[in-house]
Structure formats: C-alpha cells, structure tokens
Chains A and B, each alone.
Chain A
Amino acid sequence: MVSTSPERKGAAITLDDVHLSLPSEAGEVHILRGISMAVETGQSVGIVGPSGSGKSTMMAVMTGLDKATSGRVHVAGEDITDLDEDSLALFRRAHVGIVLQAFRLIPTMTALENVAVPLELAGRKDAFDVAEAELKAVGLGHRLTHYPAQLSGGEQQRVALARAIAPEPGILFADEPTGNLDTTTGAQVIDIMFKLHSERGMTLVLITHDLSLAARCDSVIEMRDGLKVDAAFDAIAAQ
C-alpha cells in the first residue's frame, strides 16, 4: 500500500517534499519538483511514467545514488538525506539491492565473482558460497565461470539480479530491468524477481514503461514532469 503521508511508521521508504535540480551549461534543470510518498515494508511498488518524467532520478534519490536538493529521504529506517557519498555506499551495502536496465556487470569478472562483489565488500567469508547459491536460484548454476561477454542479455540480467539480492537487502530496486531484453526473456527475469520478492519478503520498487508489468505490483505510482501524477494534476489545475 502506498501512502502519500510522509514518515509513516513501518514504511520502508519515505520521501518528504523532495526536490532535485542539476546544474547544466544552459542553466538549472529541475528533475524532481516536490515529491512526497511512502512505501510500506514488504510491499511491491511499480513506478511508471514517460521518459524524462523523473522515475530513475527518484529511484536514485531513494538509493542514495543521487542527493535531493531539498526535502528529506528516509529509507530502511535511516534518514539518508545528509549522508556523504561514502556513508551512502555503506548504507546501500547494508540495505539496498539495485538492478539496472543496462545490467552493469563488471566485464573483467566472472558471473560468480560479480555476484560475490557486494558480499566481499561487506566482508562476508562465505561470499562465494552465497554467490553460487544465488546464481543457482536464478537458474545460472551452469554459468558460474562465464564472463559477462559470454552470457546472453537475459543471463546477464539474471546475474545482476542475483548480485542485487545476494546480500539479502531489505529493499530491491529495479530500473527498467527488462528494457534491454526481448519479451520472453524479460518475462522470465520478472517472474524470478517477483518470486524472490514473495519468498524473501523484500520490499520491491520496480521502475518500468510497461503498464502490465507495473500492474503485477501491489501499487503503482505514475510520474510526470518530476511530479507524482496526482500532484501533477494539482499543479496543472493551479495554473
């Protein structure tokens, strides 16, 4: 269930009037223009909207990849608004798994090594055992020693998924996870993702163009011009 009231108790994510602007040579670009929302723990939320509506940026703010220009961001019980880059890295290591459209595997590492990276960063002695188990869980037990270049797109995205969930994060973010895949392969990846979500009780934030995909989530948020759609309507009405 998505709530519009910020800082709700038990919420996995809370955004409170979050703005984000970036400098450019042509002047400031306003990407997020005042977003408030909360995502309940264990829920799945689909975020939809056209290109440039601010979906990815909102996810970046939630995961600490980007910093809000103003407003407050609480994730997994932590106020991450003012954390520095290194603290945000540690926060992600502890609480967040991320799957991106372009897979973003490290080309010089095998599938197994790629999945082990976050576990190794966390100092886990069993990094490779866990990584292997996770790769098996996404159906890639036979591809452990393959390099990204030797894997198909669907396989690469499954490695990315295994890597994101291996440290058992409380929240899994997926930004257009099927964007670079054909329909069938994409559907397979999504099936695995929802299966893991329900099995492990993770909160899932799924950014997608695909409305049918978003419909599989517990709730859906629509974005337009850096605002949530209901807020966007209010802004248009006010004009």
Chain B
Amino acid sequence: MSPHKATWGDISRFALREMRGGLAGFRVFIACLALGVAAIAAVGGVTQGILEQLSAKGQEILGGDVDIRLNQRVASDEEFTYLLQNSEQIARVMRLRAMARAESNQKRTLVELKAVEDAYPLYGTLELSSTEPRPQLFEKRGDIWGAVIEPTLMTQLGVDIGDVLAVGDTRYEIRATITVEPDKSNEGFQLGPTLMVPHSSMEETGLVRLGSLIRHHYRLRLGSEVDVDAWLEDLNARFPDAGWRIRDRSNGAPGIRRFIDQMGMFLTLVGLTALTVGGVGVGNAVRGYLDQRTETIATFKVLGADGSTVFRIYVLQIAIIAAAAIVLGLALGTLAPLFVSQALKDVLPVAPEFKIYPVQLGLAAVYGLLITAVFSLWPLAKARDIPAARLFRQLVAPDKSWPAQRFVIATGLAIAGIVGLAIGLAEDKTLAAGFVAAAIGAFALLRGAAVLIAWGAKRLPRVRSPLARIAVANLHRPGAATAAVVLSLGLGLTLFAALAAIEHNMSAEVRQRIPDEAPAFFFVDIQPFELEEFIETVASVEGTGEFRSVPSLRGPVMAVNGVPADEIDADPNEAWVLRGDRGLTYSASVPQGNRVVAGDWWPEDYAGAPLISLEEEAARGIGAKVGDTITLGVLGNEITAKIANLRALDWSTFGFNFVIVFAPGTLENAPHTHMATVKAKGDVEQAVFDAVTAKYSGVSVIRMKEVLTSVSDVLSQISSAVRVTAVVTILAGVLVLAGAMAAGRRARVYDSVILKVLGATRSNVLAAYLIEYALLGLVTGIIALALGTLAAWFVITTVFEGAWVTPFTTMGLTITGAILVTVGFGLVLTWRVLGVKAGRVLATV
C-alpha cells in the first residue's frame, strides 16, 4: 500500500490549528501588503473611474455626438448644408483668444472668448448664477450684448455683475457667472478665463477676420440610432479635403484621456514600488514566523510528515493571511475614488464614480499575490527542508544553502510575472521598462550596499568606545536589521529623492530659468497691415528689446508621401505632429536659433514649387526624410510640399519654433496674421501691456508670467499626486523598518539587560543604540540620495533634455529624513527595551 499523502483537508486542518497561535507576527505583513495593494487598486480605480466617466459623459464633454472643428475659416455653404441635413440639431461655437477691457476701471486681460448659439449645449447643462432664461441673458439691450463669465474673470478685472466689458469693437454687459461649463474639459489648456457671448454678436467685434486664430466648431446631435462611424465615413467620403478635425462622442477629450492614462501608468509603477518595499516586510515576517516555527516543523517531520506536507501547511497559512491582507487592501483601494473625487473635485475634469472596478481590483490582487510569492517562496522552501534533527541539535555550520531548484524557478517566474504585467499593461512600454529596470537596479544596489555595510562593520578596526563598538557590532550581528532598513527605507527614499529632484529641476525651469530668458509677451493675431505700426508702438516703450515677429497660420498634416496621417505608424513620442493643427510659417532665411542638419536651405529669393523645412525629430518620428512630400491643410486647401531640408531646434530658447517652415512663395497670399514676442524688464511690462491693449483691441496679449503660473499650477498638481503615492512607498518602508526592529527586540532586551548587569547606565545603552540607528540612517540616506539623484539627473538631462540644477535642499531633507525615521523608531523601541526589568529577563533566559 502506498503511504497516505496528506490531503488538502488534512493540510488545512493543520494550518488552521497552527494559526490559532495568533497573527501578531503578521501585523507588518498585513499592513505592508494591504498598503501596496490599496495604492495600486486606488490608482487603478480612480484612473478607470475617470476614463469611464469621460466615456459616459462623452457627449457632454464634446458638446455633441460629433464635433467638427475648422481653423480660421467657417464651413462652406455646401459643407454647412450637408451637416444641417444630416443631423438632428446643430450648434455652432466659435472660440478665440481676445482681450477684454473693463469699462469701469479700464483694466484689461486676456480671455477665452466663446461664442455660442441658443442650442448650446446640445448635451449637459450650462449652469449659471442667474435663473433668468438664456435668451434674455444674452440679448442685446441698446448697443450692449449680454455675456456670462467665469468667476475668476471678475476678480482679475475687478468687475461685478452689471459691469460692461469691451471686446474688440463691441461691448458686453456681465449678466451672470458660469457655475458649470459642461464642455470645459474639452477645451484644452486655457490661457484666460471664459467669456461666453452670443454667437450672433461676433460679427460686431471685428475680430472675425480671415486668418485670425479662430476655431469654428460645429457640434451635431445625430440621434442615438445613428452609427457614428458610418456617419463619419460618409462625411469624409463626401468632403475628403475639408481639412477639419473631427471628434466623436467615444473620444471626447483625447488629450485628457492620454494624460489620465499616463498619470495612471506612472502612479501604478510608483504604487508597485511601494508594494515591492512592502514585499520586504512580507519576506521578513514570513522568515520570522517560520524561524519561530522551526521546532514545530521539525516535530512534524519527526512524526512522519514529508517536506511537501510541511511546505503545504505553511504555504496555506501564508496564502490565507495574504488573501486577508489583499482583501483589506482592495477594500481600501475601492474607497479611494470616493475620497479622490471629493479632494480633487476642482482639479479633475470629471469625478470618478464610486463603484467596484473588477479589472483594476483583480490586477492589484494579482500584483499582491505575486509580490507575496516573490518574497515568501524562498523562506517557505527553506522551511520545507528543515531537517527533523533540528529538534535536538542546532546546525553546527550556518545553513547557507539554496532551496530546491523548482522554488528558485518559481520565484523567478513570479518576478517575471510582475515585470511582464507592469511593462505589458503600460501604454508607454519604454518608460515602464525604464522604471522597472531602475527599480530593480536600485533594489539590487541597496541589497549590495546592505551586505557591504555589514561586511565593513565586521572588519572595522576595534573602536575604543564600548558604546560605539556595540553600535558597530549591531550592524553586522546575525539577525541585524541592517539589510531590512537599507532596503526598505532606501528604496522609498531613493524614489522620493528622485521625484523631488525632478520636481525641483522642473520648477526651477518654470520659475527661474524661463522667466529670465523667455520674452515677456507673446502677441497673437497682429494683422499684416498693422504690423509696422505695431512694432513702432512696442519699440516706443522704453526698456523693451529683441522684438521678433513671424507670419503665422495653422493647419493639420494630412498626409506624408500620400499616406493619410491617421494611417502612419508614428513614434508615440512624435505622434503629436500628426495630431491636430501645427503652427505654420514661411521664411526666406534659416530661423534664428535653428540649424540645418540635412538637405539645403532654399535661396532667399526662392519662388518655385512648395518647399518646406521640417524639424529633424518630428521627421524621424513620422518617417519622413529630405525629398519626401507632406500634404498640409491650409484654410480648406491642401498644399503638398516637398521636404527641402531638416532643422535642429533649440526648444529651450522660447523663441518661435516652428516644426514646419515654408519656403517663400506659397503662403504669402493666404490670409494670415503675425505673432510677435518682445522682452521687457519687469517694471515696463505694464507699460507695454497698456500701450498695446489700448491701441490694438484685436491683438491678444499673452503674458509669459501668467502662462508660467498656469504651467506651474499644473506641475504642482501633478507633483502632489506623485508625492502622495511616493509617500505610500516611504510609509511601506517605515512599516518594514518597524517590523524589522520589533523582530530584533528580544535580542536587544537581552543585550541591554546584560549591559545593565555589567554596570551600564540607561543613558549608556541609549547612546549605543542611537549611534547605531544614526549610522544606519545616515548610510541609507546617502545611498538613497546618490541613487535618486542619479536617476533624476538621467531623467532631466536625457528625457526632458533640460539643464541640471543640483537640489541641495532635497538632498539635505532626504538624509535628515532617513536619520530621523530610523532614529525615531530606534528611540521608541529602545525606550521600551530600557524599561524591561533586568531581574525578570534573567530569570527567564
């Protein structure tokens, strides 16, 4: 008869009996795993929640089932008739930047002018501060139209309801403020607050001129039974050359979608780092638990249990505890959208719905399981091999053997699973792979550093002070917390230092370097006939300089070598070239700050077939080279031009940088405007602003300072999100640290009692431990700082191609933080250790 093999029933009975002993040793295990899983589940849930809401509210955000946008021109009669006949309802929206002047105090500011028809919005509701019907709010009373504004405009201009704003050649009375603008999140980056006016008033402003940067939107209601894809196919077949940009309800806010996707991916990776740090805690807890169970395991073996039975008994216990921790983490993660939608309701385009996101929760659970496997299989496999003889004899030589090959392979597979999922599910695989490689590299380096510290401490010449000697000895003695502290705290601090250094560099760029080097103003929509006079006006203000102007048009790339833009397999980093409109200009000479890197620049008096110069990275990204052709849509016409040369740009000059520059002879006769920049010292900025806005009501004046404030606001919102997730990593590290220190408590109690017996005072013992913890914190801080700074330097100089500023404050904070955390925990622990009465311990040891 073959021997009985323990069934899972037997195993679960044994496992449950074992677990009666309590889960005290698993508190850190549960906390670490739950925290990491919660972070990933939260990021996943919030991201998915936002994306789902963007889809669910697609029509509202888009303002229709289909949005057709034309730049700088209105739809032709033929096009408009077609749209009218093939839709249930149409709402025209005109958007442009303009200057608004308050008549009461003559203050001026840049606004996003949005002209709407009565049908606006086709979906969703425009909520206003006034309950008066919209036709009344917008109606013309005398020669003054009605308008509604975003509340921020009131503060900016110091105006109130009832005040009058002058825009171009006409005047608007503020009749209400906007509470909810349903399609706001589809508007992209806004330079000024919204001023909403009736569509019919626009003619009177004098701003609607050929070539002005006006976006004409045609928003259509198609009815729910209409197949949007088929409808669009028909439209494109009918007007293949219209050059309009079309969005439909399934893809309402692609920019936001991309941003949310990327943020989600990045934060998931950060969450995964937190989970990995927590994994160290999981591993420590499993090892500690199994160490305590060594005798029980040996007893099982004495009683006839084979290795597989023992392994299964403990795997089941770990699995049960891990499952509980994961469920706890998932529950916490599920609650996240609730808090996030409350806390970030002003920042997010839509609030994520509070509900179960099964795929995201499932993924977080899988990550949790895999991390548990990675960190506990090894000690479990070693436990499986504990010989029965351990019961009556400790091993004479320390056991440094590896577990059986299949467990090593299983651990490797679990690691591969995590890496595969992290990279495989990421939109930007290169970024994800880079992050994962950096994390694994940092993990390996920190592990190596921990070994090195212990090794170094062991070989340090004997210090004279007994306190320092004890401190150093504690770094390398068996069961020392060195490895756990360096690894867990180190990884969190490395991430934190890297993110802080990146943030520091980016904000240094936005707050210091750009304001110093960039022009003070961008002027948009200068009409060709007024350009000369405009230059004189600006130059007449003392303290201005480096005035530059360029002709400006906009138009989308329609095709490359005849291949339609949407069929081109472009490098994701350069795909933006094919999306939406590009700024276009023409120039006889190589633009300032540009360098021709391939092909030849055209003669100054060139007047032949259309030629263009393309920026080299963009050319590489869309697979175009010198001699190829690019077709552009310019004001409803298609222009196919040959690429004459490629240019390298210096994006950091903040001058005009056009990806596409035409040779003379093609665009001059197309209606267009000019853009200009000027530098001005801080104190004359207002004078320039006043001079220009007083005279040129049609020219939009963009202040660099205000743009930078908006950019800086967005940056700080992003960095807050990243920092919150990074803090989770540090928290996981602190948990691991606490667990490791608590695990070493028994040894410390024994030590301190022996020291006291030998005449050491409490302050002696305390000093010894403080030295140890400070040393450990200092070394961990320095390593984390080095690794984090290196990673940040790499990201700033190669990914963002920016100038590196060494963030001394961040460095100081990281090191101080590391020391404070380790010493803090050390103190708490030591305090409890010191409180133990020597007599009681000696009686039991």
Chain A residues in the interface with B (C-beta under 8 A):
22-25, 29, 56-57, 60, 63-66, 85-86, 88-90, 92-94, 98, 100-102, 104-109, 113, 117-118, 120-123, 163, 167, 175
Binds A, one of B10-18, B61-69, B155-163, B368-376: B10-18
Residue pair A86, B300 in contact (C-beta under 8 Å): no
Question: What are the interface flags for B366-404 relative to A under an 8 Å C-beta threshold, 1 for contact and 0 otherwise?
Answer: 000000000000000000010111011100111000000
Residue pair A65, B389 in contact (C-beta under 8 Å): yes
Residue pairs across A and B with Cβ atoms less than 8 A apart, 10 shown, are: A22-B396, A23-B396, A65-B391, A93-B3, A98-B302, A104-B298, A106-B296, A108-B21, A121-B4, A121-B309
Question: How far apart are the CA atoms of A118 and B304 in the complex, in Å?
Answer: 7
Residue pair A86, B302 in contact (C-beta under 8 Å): no
Closest residue of chain B to A66 (Cβ to Cβ) is B389
Given A93-B303, A121-B303, A123-B6, 5 further pairs, Cβ under 8 A? A23-B396, A102-B391, A108-B17, A109-B17, A120-B13
Residues from chain A with Cβ under 8 Å of B19 in the complex: 108
Closest residue of chain A to B310 (Cβ to Cβ) is A89
Residue pair A85, B387 in contact (C-beta under 8 Å): yes
Question: How far apart are the CA atoms of A163 and B304 in the complex, in Å?
Answer: 12
Tell me the smallest distance from the CB of A24 to a CB of chain B, in Å: 4
Question: What are the interface flags for B208-249 relative to A under an 8 Å C-beta threshold, 1 for contact and 0 otherwise?
Answer: 000000000000000000000000000000000000000000
Question: How far apart are the CA atoms of A167 and B304 in the complex, in Å?
Answer: 11
Residue pair A108, B20 in contact (C-beta under 8 Å): yes
Residue pair B303, A117 in contact (C-beta under 8 Å): yes
Question: How far apart are the CA atoms of A98 and B393 in the complex, in Å?
Answer: 15
Question: What are the interface flags for B761-792 relative to A under an 8 Å C-beta threshold, 1 for contact and 0 otherwise?
Answer: 00000000000000000000000000000000
Question: How far apart are the CA atoms of A101 and B392 in the complex, in Å?
Answer: 9
Residue pair B304, A121 in contact (C-beta under 8 Å): yes
Tell me the smallest distance from the CB of A201 to a CB of chain B, in Å: 21
Residues from chain B with Cβ under 8 Å of A57 in the complex: 393
Residue pair B388, A65 in contact (C-beta under 8 Å): yes
Residue pair A100, B307 in contact (C-beta under 8 Å): no
Question: How far apart are the CA atoms of A22 and B393 in the complex, in Å?
Answer: 11
Residues from chain B with Cβ under 8 Å of A22 in the complex: 396-397
Q: Which 10 A-B pairs have CB atoms at the shortest separation, nearest pair first?
A: A93-B304, A123-B4, A24-B396, A86-B306, A108-B21, A118-B303, A65-B388, A89-B306, A65-B389, A90-B3
Residue pair B389, A120 in contact (C-beta under 8 Å): no
Decide yes or no whether B299 CB sits under 8 A from chain A: yes
Question: What are the interface flags for B1-34 relative to A under an 8 Å C-beta threshold, 1 for contact and 0 otherwise?
Answer: 0011111001001100111110000000000000
Given contacts A93-B3, A104-B295, contact A65 B305 (CB under 8 A): no
Question: How far apart are the CA atoms of A88 and B304 in the complex, in Å?
Answer: 8
Residues from chain A with Cβ under 8 Å of B205 in the complex: none
Tell me the smallest distance from the CB of A85 to a CB of chain B, in Å: 6
Question: How far apart are the CA atoms of A15 and B19 in the complex, in Å?
Answer: 41
Residues from chain B with Cβ under 8 Å of A63 in the complex: 302
Decide yes or no whether B301 CB sits under 8 A from chain A: yes
Decide yes or no whether B308 CB sits under 8 A from chain A: yes
Question: How far apart are the CA atoms of A60 and B391 in the complex, in Å?
Answer: 10
Residue pair B388, A121 in contact (C-beta under 8 Å): no
Residues from chain A with Cβ under 8 Å of B391 in the complex: 65, 100, 102, 104
Given contacts A24-B397, A100-B391, A121-B10, contact A94 B3 (CB under 8 A): yes
- What secondary structure prevails in chain A residues at the interface with B? mixed
Tell me the smallest distance from the CB of B211 to a CB of chain A, in Å: 84
Residue pair A121, B389 in contact (C-beta under 8 Å): no
Tell me the smallest distance from the CB of B456 to a CB of chain A, in Å: 21
Residue pair A107, B303 in contact (C-beta under 8 Å): no
Residue pair B296, A120 in contact (C-beta under 8 Å): no
Residues from chain A with Cβ under 8 Å of B309 in the complex: 121
Question: How far apart are the CA atoms of A80 and B295 in the complex, in Å?
Answer: 24
Residues from chain A with Cβ under 8 Å of B387 in the complex: 65-66, 85
Residues from chain B with Cβ under 8 Å of A98 in the complex: 302
Residues from chain A with Cβ under 8 Å of B299 in the complex: 104-106
Closest residue of chain A to B388 (Cβ to Cβ) is A65
Residues from chain A with Cβ under 8 Å of B396 in the complex: 22-25, 29
Closest residue of chain B to A104 (Cβ to Cβ) is B299
Chain B residues in the interface with A (C-beta under 8 A):
3-7, 10, 13-14, 17-21, 295-296, 298-309, 385, 387-389, 391-393, 396-398
Between A60, A64, A65, A89, the greatest number of chain B beta carbons within 10 A of the residue's beta carbon is seen for: A89
Between A60, A65, A101, A118, the greatest number of chain B beta carbons within 10 A of the residue's beta carbon is seen for: A65
Residues from chain A with Cβ under 8 Å of B385 in the complex: 85
Cβ 8 A contact of B302, one of A65, A108, A167:
A65
Residue pair B308, A175 in contact (C-beta under 8 Å): no
Closest residue of chain B to A86 (Cβ to Cβ) is B306
Between B4, B18, B388, the greatest number of chain A beta carbons within 10 A of the residue's beta carbon is seen for: B388
Residue pair A121, B6 in contact (C-beta under 8 Å): yes
Question: How far apart are the CA atoms of A102 and B303 in the complex, in Å?
Answer: 15
Tell me the smallest distance from the CB of B841 to a CB of chain A, in Å: 20
Residue pair B397, A23 in contact (C-beta under 8 Å): yes
Residues from chain A with Cβ under 8 Å of B13 in the complex: 120
Cβ 8 A contact of B304, one of A56, A109, A122:
A122
Closest residue of chain A to B306 (Cβ to Cβ) is A86
Closest residue of chain A to B309 (Cβ to Cβ) is A121
Given contacts A23-B397, A56-B392, contact A89 B4 (CB under 8 A): no
Given contacts A60-B389, A100-B392, contact A163 B296 (CB under 8 A): no
Tell me the smallest distance from the CB of A65 to a CB of chain B, in Å: 4
Question: How far apart are the CA atoms of A65 and B17 in the complex, in Å?
Answer: 25
Tell me the smallest distance from the CB of B310 to a CB of chain A, in Å: 9
Closest residue of chain A to B386 (Cβ to Cβ) is A85
Tell me the smallest distance from the CB of B10 to a CB of chain A, in Å: 6
Residue pair A120, B307 in contact (C-beta under 8 Å): no
Question: How far apart are the CA atoms of A90 and B302 in the complex, in Å?
Answer: 10
Question: How far apart are the CA atoms of A60 and B21 in the complex, in Å?
Answer: 29
Residues from chain A with Cβ under 8 Å of B397 in the complex: 22-25
Residues from chain B with Cβ under 8 Å of A123 in the complex: 4-7, 10
Residue pair A90, B392 in contact (C-beta under 8 Å): no
Tell me the smallest distance from the CB of A83 to a CB of chain B, in Å: 11
Residues from chain A with Cβ under 8 Å of B306 in the complex: 85-86, 89-90
Tell me the smallest distance from the CB of B4 to a CB of chain A, in Å: 3
Residue pair A89, B304 in contact (C-beta under 8 Å): yes
Question: How far apart are the CA atoms of A92 and B309 in the complex, in Å?
Answer: 15
Given contacts A65-B387, A108-B20, A122-B4, contact A117 B300 (CB under 8 A): yes
Closest residue of chain B to A23 (Cβ to Cβ) is B397
Question: How far apart are the CA atoms of A129 and B308 in the complex, in Å?
Answer: 26
Residues from chain B with Cβ under 8 Å of A118 in the complex: 303-304
Residue pair A104, B302 in contact (C-beta under 8 Å): yes
Between B14, B309, B387, B392, the greatest number of chain A beta carbons within 10 A of the residue's beta carbon is seen for: B392
Tell me the smallest distance from the CB of B25 to a CB of chain A, in Å: 13
Tell me the smallest distance from the CB of A125 to a CB of chain B, in Å: 11
Residue pair A89, B388 in contact (C-beta under 8 Å): yes
Question: How far apart are the CA atoms of A86 and B300 in the complex, in Å?
Answer: 12
Question: How far apart are the CA atoms of A108 and B293 in the complex, in Å?
Answer: 11
Closest residue of chain B to A169 (Cβ to Cβ) is B304
Tell me the smallest distance from the CB of B321 to a CB of chain A, in Å: 15
Residues from chain B with Cβ under 8 Å of A29 in the complex: 396
Residue pair B304, A90 in contact (C-beta under 8 Å): yes
Tell me the smallest distance from the CB of B276 to a CB of chain A, in Å: 31
Residues from chain A with Cβ under 8 Å of B20 in the complex: 108
Tell me the smallest distance from the CB of A186 to a CB of chain B, in Å: 19
Given contacts A23-B396, A56-B392, contact A120 B304 (CB under 8 A): no
Residue pair B307, A92 in contact (C-beta under 8 Å): no
Tell me the smallest distance from the CB of A226 to a CB of chain B, in Å: 14
Question: How far apart are the CA atoms of A57 and B388 in the complex, in Å?
Answer: 12
Cβ 8 A contact of B307, one of A25, A85, A107, A121:
A85
Cβ 8 A contact of A121, one of B17, B298, B305:
B305
Residue pair A92, B296 in contact (C-beta under 8 Å): no
Tell me the smallest distance from the CB of B302 to a CB of chain A, in Å: 6
Given contacts A86-B307, A113-B17, A121-B309, contact A92 B10 (CB under 8 A): no
Tell me the smallest distance from the CB of A168 to a CB of chain B, in Å: 13
Question: How far apart are the CA atoms of A113 and B21 in the complex, in Å?
Answer: 14
Question: How far apart are the CA atoms of A103 and B17 in the complex, in Å?
Answer: 19
Residues from chain A with Cβ under 8 Å of B4 in the complex: 121-123
